[in-house]
Structure 1
Amino acid sequence: MGAIWQRRALAGFMLGVAAFTLPASADGLAEVEIDTLVTSALQEFDTPGMSVAIVEDGKVTFLKGYGSRDLEAKKPVTPKTLFRLASTTKAFTAAALAILVDEGKIGWNDKVTDHLPTFRMKDPWVTDAFTVRDLLTHHSGLWNGAGDMLLWPEPSSFTAAEIVASLATFEPLTSFRSSYAYNNVLYIAAGELVAAVSGVPYADFVERRILKPLGIACYWGPVPAKALKDAAVGYDMVDGKLMPHVRNGIDRNPTASVAAGGGVCNAEGMAKWMVAQLDGTHAPFSEKQRDEMWASQALLPLSKRMQEIDGTAFRAYGLGWRLADVNGVKTVSHTGTLGGWQAYVMLVPSKNLGIALFNNGSHEYARQSVMQGLLKSWLAPDEKRDWVAWYAAEEAKEEAEAKAKQWPEPEVLPLTRPLAIYAGSYVDDVMGDVTVTLQDEQLEIAFARMPALKGTLTPIRDGLFRTVWTDPTAAGRIYVAFPSDAGGQVVALTLDNAAGAPNQADDYASRYFRRRSD
């Protein structure tokens, strides 16, 4: 939780916000109750602004913005304010494939290599068995987030083709289709498949075949200059203060990660998207394919919290959507998380209800508490609980537990070798070049293909250093090790998110940067 002065500043702004609204449904919360819920969540969880859309029975029943889309310019959030969708983009990628299935150009169970011949996994058998459906279901056998190092922190200079090609280098963590592990790169592969089959770039396909027919003024490619006037600024908490997350800002530059999480949209547009999903007869894809996207494909872990607060008995991943029962009712949803941005789209088919939330902060409990409060007003109206207070209490418990479980920092020992021996150029087959330089007795590191990954190296002991990034929002704590040969010559550079911690499976630990010859 942030500083008191920061919350007071946010509160003062939110109280004066004017927004366009439509009457709220009598089955949910009254508008004044929604106002109280949202403003309370924004203040508690250090979030500048939020946009809310609710649709019922094919109609928009609530559409409103809260707080600030730009703290410096003091601009309010409105239903037209553009936010980054992050992983709520994935449902659009699934929909693009569904359109091609409807047209008979692909099948969900077709081999990926039938349509994208360059697709490769490390294991040839897995490559041959990998289907279009598998691209969307997160059970590839890789570790959670495999390949994310090529996408974030933005900006990344890797192309979509290069990112997809990296899959061939990743050693699997589990057997194919045996367990769930979230993956963004496979959605980028899905976008490449859409382009290969349709002959149209993925972003253009989504805009022409999904957004335009539905009248949605949102963007998968470059955002037009005239639309940027409605763009929000994303924020992160840095050293107790809300700071603009400039790297992840909305601009005219498309990202290679667009099929996984690069869509830009607003509450007005997402309301139309939810109506089309729930209606099923006026969408760009058939009702049959809509139902296929909403069908269970891979089981998801079920937490004790979900069982206790929602009575959840099942949880699964569909095609671009998560599925679960809440208070005995099936829900179809997805969240989106990116530095400076949070999104949440929730569909309740049996009630013909859709709720979408977008905010320009980095605290997930802002969206969680608001969605929980709204959803429960339909599914458990007699259950009265202050969800903002509940999530604030959960946050306090989680922080205490995390501190108790935190893997200790490596012991700092005096250096016996000169810093100059580590300076040089290193190269990895996937991440490319990394340069380590010595400036005024300080080692500096820079990744050539990921411009935001640059900073200094703080010594821990001979051969082991901790990164201090120039941009503190670029990445978390990463340790850099310099293995030496028998003669003491530094031969490589390796990375680790938590030096010495057991059972680490992550992108950085999978890379090996060989030292280039001088």
Structure 2
Amino acid sequence: MLRYSRAFLAAALLGLAAALVPVHAEVSSARSRATYDPIVDAVIARYHLPGIAVGVIENGQVVYTRTAGETVAGSGEKITPQTLFKIASNSKAMTTALLGRLVDQGKLRWDDPVTKYLPQFRMHDAWVTANMRVADLLTHSSGLPEGGGDLMLWPEPNTFTRADIIHGLRYIEPGYSFRSQYQYDNLLYVVAGEVAAAAGGAPYETLMRREVFEPLGLDRCQVGSWNRDAVGNVAQPHYRHDGRNVPMHEDGATIPAITSAPAGGIRCDLTDMLAWARNWLVPTPAQLQWLSWPQRATLQAPHMLIPVSTQRRQWDNTHVMAYGYGWRMADVDGAWAVWHTGTLGGMYSMLALLPDRQSGFVFMINGEAEDARTVLGEVLMKHFTAPQERRGVAWYADALDEQVKQRPASASAPDTSARQPVGPAELAAFTGIYRDPWLGEAAVCPRGGQLRFAAKKSPRLAGTVMRLGTRYFVHWDDAGVDPDAWMDFHAAGDGPATLRMAKFDPQGDFSSDYEDLRFERVGDCP
């Protein structure tokens, strides 16, 4: 017989009461509009966003929604609460919820070894392989360097499979010792998705739809392959160029299944993301049957400490920050906050919860918006944690701009105005086919009078080799592949030539993990 504590029953009754109050996500009160519209308007104006969807929950109820802009800049197709956005790494919490479901069903244990479900799984170190638990896949403390192996996931499209990722992990050298520190990675969430598939007896995408989307009524969320026109109302990513928003890598008629789905490949609309958030803040009895209190507590408990930045200490008076299973958490002005962000090629998102206040917010943007996300997230959070504070959008935006101005030149991308294409003769001793143990083959070969770099399994990693001063770098053809990469060739006596690479811009996204590549020359150009 199941026995429930008074606290459990009280929470269940509160969730039931909240569920009985009708939620009109498209309608906001005059008070809420007066509070939140100026914030959203200021962020849109400051950062020239192509489109945004924002929702706020207070005391368990959706009190504000706002959509603005277009699915594609210049198209006239307006963003609505039903517009699908890439939620990127906010997918991780959905993956861990799926795993929690399997734990509740007795099909999985958090402390099971990964090799119980994936016998082919190997890390660089044999001891780590033997001791890697399912839980260790989720806390960014495996020893993988920050963003290690992400070039097998992005840029998309590429031909890397989940089996390729599981195989490639053994070749990625650790950046620190197992379980000793936090360094964000994505590959192990892909592995976690395969663990779920093995334990659940169905592909990850099938399980996500069956075990998460359907029970929670997330009717618009999409994973795997789907038809763009049949689903409809899909936001496209953008980048800023010459002062305007330019669509990038627009979807075709069929959205393909992607390898990265468990780490960052789910798309949802505002209505479903608000329903997802309320499931955590004020779960109904049915939702508590869907995922038990013990699993909910496990997912959002601190499992790995994260260093607290100076900015977070100064802005939020934060003392402790940690990672759970698919969630970050910290004290913010004395309140406990649980959140995650998502970043994926022209799409930015954030979902934040204040569990003790049954409040939170979510927003999604379809443009280059790293600073916009930081500012909007900070101002919305302060509404709950420090309402007396008068710092608004302009203050936080100016503070970020000032940080860039104070950054030393060595921490920024160099001026490339003097760059020159490299002729084939200049690097004739180093042309050829190179191979990295996990990224695979790449050609450094003449074409059209220039020297070109092209990765075999990642077609968007293609560009022209340039010289800047005495150094060489590859300038990618695709403006959406950023940053460019330094190329350092080395002769190795009687051995093969080698190629090492590094981010051209030290502030570039950590998923551009060129530093982890170990290319060796394996053949001549065709």
Structure 1 length-normalised TM: 0.88
Which structure 2 residue ranges, 5 or more long, are not aligned?
1-23
Q: Distance in 1 between matches of 2:459 and 2:108?
A: 38
Distance 1:98 1:516, change over 3 A: same
Cα deviation code 1:127-169 (max 9, x no counterpart): 1111111110001112111111111111121001211221111
TM-align CA RMSD:
2.8
Q: Distance in 2 between matches of 1:41 and 1:376?
A: 15
Kindly provide the amino acid, as one letter, of the partner of residue 286 in structure 2: H
Which structure 1 residue ranges, 5 or more long, are not aligned?
1-18
> Secondary structure in 1 aligned to 2:226?
coil
Q: What is the 5 A alignment of 1:122-133?
A: 122-133=124-135
Residue in 1 that maps onto 2:483:
476
> Secondary structure in 1 aligned to 2:255?
coil
Kindly provide the amino acid, as one letter, of the partner of residue 494 in structure 1: R
Q: Structure 1 residues 310-319 or 82-91, which shifts more?
A: 310-319
Kindly provide the amino acid, as one letter, of the partner of residue 282 in structure 1: A
Q: Structure 1 residues 376-385 or 327-336, which shifts more?
A: 376-385
Residue in 1 that maps onto 2:503:
497
Distance 1:416 1:451, change over 3 A: closer
Residue in 2 that maps onto 1:139:
141
> Secondary structure in 1 aligned to 2:298?
helix
Q: Distance in 2 between matches of 1:359 and 1:163?
A: 29
Residue in 2 that maps onto 1:21:
26
Q: Structure 1 residues 391-400 or 329-338, which shifts more?
A: 391-400
Q: Distance in 1 between matches of 2:271 and 2:337?
A: 21
Residue in 2 that maps onto 1:360:
366
> Secondary structure in 2 aligned to 1:144?
coil
Residue in 1 that maps onto 2:18:
none
Mapped pair 1:374 → 2:376 = no
Cα deviation code 1:359-410 (max 9, x no counterpart): 1112222222222222222222222221x21222123212213353436859
Mapped pair 1:120 → 2:122 = yes
Q: Distance in 2 between matches of 1:80 and 1:372?
A: 25
Kindly provide the amino acid, as one letter, of the partner of residue 124 in structure 1: A
Distance 1:55 1:473, change over 3 A: same
Structure 2 length-normalised TM: 0.87
Q: 1:163 aligns with which of 158, 162, 165?
A: 165
Mapped pair 1:198 → 2:200 = yes
Distance 1:211 1:327, change over 3 A: same
| Deviation (angstroms), 1:472 | 1.8
Kindly provide the amino acid, as one letter, of the partner of residue 458 in structure 1: M
Mapped pair 1:326 → 2:332 = yes
Distance 1:372 1:475, change over 3 A: closer
Q: Distance in 1 between matches of 2:286 and 2:274?
A: 14
Residue in 1 that maps onto 2:461:
453
| Deviation (angstroms), 1:223 | 3.0
Distance 1:179 1:163, change over 3 A: same
Residue in 1 that maps onto 2:315:
309
Kindly provide the amino acid, as one letter, of the partner of residue 434 in structure 1: A
Q: Distance in 1 between matches of 2:70 and 2:413?
A: 39
Residue in 1 that maps onto 2:279:
276
| Deviation (angstroms), 1:240 | 4.0
| Deviation (angstroms), 1:238 | 3.2
| Deviation (angstroms), 1:191 | 0.2
Cα deviation code 1:29-83 (max 9, x no counterpart): x213322211210121131111012234443322221222221212211100110
Q: Distance in 2 between matches of 1:226 and 1:304?
A: 46
Q: Is the 8 A contact 2:501 2:514 kept in 1?
A: yes
User: Percent identity over the alignment?
Assistant: 35
> Secondary structure in 2 aligned to 1:66?
strand
Residue in 2 that maps onto 1:225:
228
Kindly provide the amino acid, as one letter, of the partner of residue 303 in structure 2: Q
Q: Distance in 1 between matches of 2:506 and 2:478?
A: 25
Mapped pair 1:396 → 2:401 = yes
Q: Distance in 1 between matches of 2:34 and 2:181?
A: 44
Mapped pair 1:467 → 2:469 = no
Q: Is the 8 A contact 2:88 2:342 kept in 1?
A: yes
Q: What is the 5 A alignment of 1:51-62?
A: 51-62=53-64
Q: What is the 5 A alignment of 1:153-192?
A: 153-192=155-194
Q: Distance in 2 between matches of 1:306 and 1:255?
A: 34
Distance 1:416 1:231, change over 3 A: closer
Q: Is the 8 A contact 1:195 1:201 kept in 2?
A: yes
Q: Structure 1 residues 419-428 or 44-53, which shifts more?
A: 419-428
Kindly provide the amino acid, as one letter, of the partner of residue 303 in structure 1: S
| Deviation (angstroms), 1:415 | 9.3
> Secondary structure in 2 aligned to 1:296?
coil
Q: Distance in 1 between matches of 2:350 and 2:50?
A: 16
